[in-house]
Amino acid sequence: MKYVLGVAGALSLWSCAPAPAERAAGIEVSATVLDARTSVPAADSLVSRALGSAEVIDRPWMIGLVGDLVVVTDLDPPHIHLLDRGTGQHLKSFGAAGEGPGEFSNGPSLLRAGLLRDTMWLLDGPRRRLTGYPVGSLVRADPSAGTRIVNLPALMVQSIDGPDAEGRFFATSDDPRDGMRLMHLSGQTGAVVKSVPIDVGDLRLSPEFVPGAYSHRACMRGEAKGLYLVYRYAGRIDWISTESDHVEGLAVPFRWLPFVSPDTINPKLITFGASRPMARRAYSDCSVTADRFYALYSGRLRGEPKNASPRSEVHVFDFAGNLHRVVVLDHAASGLAVTQDNNTLYSVAEEPGGFVVRVSSLGTTGGTARR
């Protein structure tokens, strides 16, 4: 599904917005459609094994792969954990809480595109600071300070990835006062080189609630000069070219809008709340390989018990945006990383003793596409 630039140069990410009369009904229709997700069977079920123990990770945030290592960022200090990719052995944890070099104010965001180059980049969001570590010396070097620091301008960054071949980072901002925007950032100074407004095209919502309803994570496909946005509360994935601003929607198997409702005090104000029982989780993470894009899908309602949907799905797409395969994990996952050869999938799962990395063999990448 293809999109074009919207009014006033904004990236328009909705192909066929309904008429105003339809939008009001859409609040209820979207909830009805959501309940039909089980009517689409999964192509494959995967069996996983635990990698290492559950004694290292407290509250996982992101997972990535670099060389023979699994990298997990943690919301609690120490904020970065390194595990052996084959044995699961805990090799090192670093990143204390604090303001100094090599310290972080909370769980840092991992820029996974950098892992394919020569630097592991981590974003300290509250301090708007990128710290880079050389990937060749992560285990043996003193991690108290990164080799590079890039300070970003005063942005409310929702997601970030990079750098690309030209050294640029790409971030999405979610300032309710300024709307959602795609920022091109200098890899040397962190300065905004280009800023493009993102128009999600959902006119049901009052503007200040759009960034929350369309909360997302970005995964860059560096060589193609673009990035994917996977949405947490909408059945939707978008591909944005960082050269032309051209946008395409992927053929997701479950397509739906965020659940919204009128404000109890001011019914004319249409709001979104992630903690509401009818808010459904969609995509929480993504991973890009040499020729595939993977998106981690939940489908669970906020109001459901945790054990109501104990397994996550992974939707696999080719680079043309077509659904290539659907697999079901044997656990509920909170993070996703796939090897470049598409053979092995790493995820993070909560178990009785704590959080642990799990490994699944993807086997053949063939399968029946579902629309």
Instruction: Express each pLDDT in 196-220 by its tens digit.
Output: 988 888 989 888 889 999 999 999 9
Which residues constitute the domain of residue 166? 2-361
**Does residue 345 carry a pLDDT above 90?**
yes
**Do the domain assignments include residue 366?**
no
| pLDDT at residue 322, as a whole number | 93
Helical ranges in the chain per DSSP H: 20-34, 210-213
Instruction: Express each pLDDT in 20-65 by its tens digit.
Output: 333 333 222 233 344 334 444 446 889 999 998 888 999 999 999 9
Q: Coil, strand or helix: which one is 113?
A: helix
Q: How far apart are CA 140 and CA 134, in angstroms?
A: 11
| pLDDT at residue 154, as a whole number | 85
CA dihedral for 177, 187, 96, 115, sign (positive or negative): positive
Please give the radius of gyration of the chain, using alpha carbons only, rounded to the nearest integer.
20
**Do the domain assignments include residue 70?**
yes
Give the range among 40-44, 126-130, 291-295 with minimum mean pLDDT: 40-44
Helix (H) or strand (E) holding 48: strand 48-51
**Do the domain assignments include residue 370?**
no
**Do the domain assignments include residue 369?**
no
User: Taking the chain, what is the end-to-end CA distance rounded to the nearest angstrom?
Assistant: 12
Given pLDDT bands bounded at 50, 70 and 90, which one contains residue 365? Answer: very low
Give the range among 140-154, 155-169, 198-212 with minimum mean pLDDT: 140-154
> Which tops the pLDDT comparison, 369 or 343?
343
Edge-to-edge strand order for the sheet containing 344-351? 48-51, 354-361, 344-351, 333-338
Q: In a 10 Å sphere around its CB, with 0-12 CB exposed, 13-18 middle and 19+ buried, how is residue 156 labelled?
A: middle
Q: In a 10 Å sphere around its CB, with 0-12 CB exposed, 13-18 middle and 19+ buried, how is residue 276 labelled?
A: middle
- How many domains is the chain built from? 1
Q: How far apart are CA 62 and CA 347, in angstroms?
A: 10
Q: How far apart are CA 297 and CA 117, in angstroms?
A: 28
Instruction: Check which CATH number belongs to the domain holding 177 and give it.
Output: 2.120.10.30
**Does residue 336 carry a pLDDT above 60?**
yes
**Residues sharing a CB contact under 8 Å with residue 76, sequence separation 6 or more, in sequence order:** 58, 59, 107
Give the count of beta carbons closer than 10 Å to the beta carbon of residue 167: 12
- Asked if residue 289 lies in contact with residue 265, where contact means CB atoms within 8 angstroms, the answer is no
Helical ranges in 233-367 per DSSP H: none
- Could you tell me the CA-to-CA distances from 193 to 196, 242, 264, 316 in Å, in that order? 10, 12, 42, 32
| pLDDT at residue 308, as a whole number | 64
Q: Cis bond leading into 78, ω under 30°?
A: yes
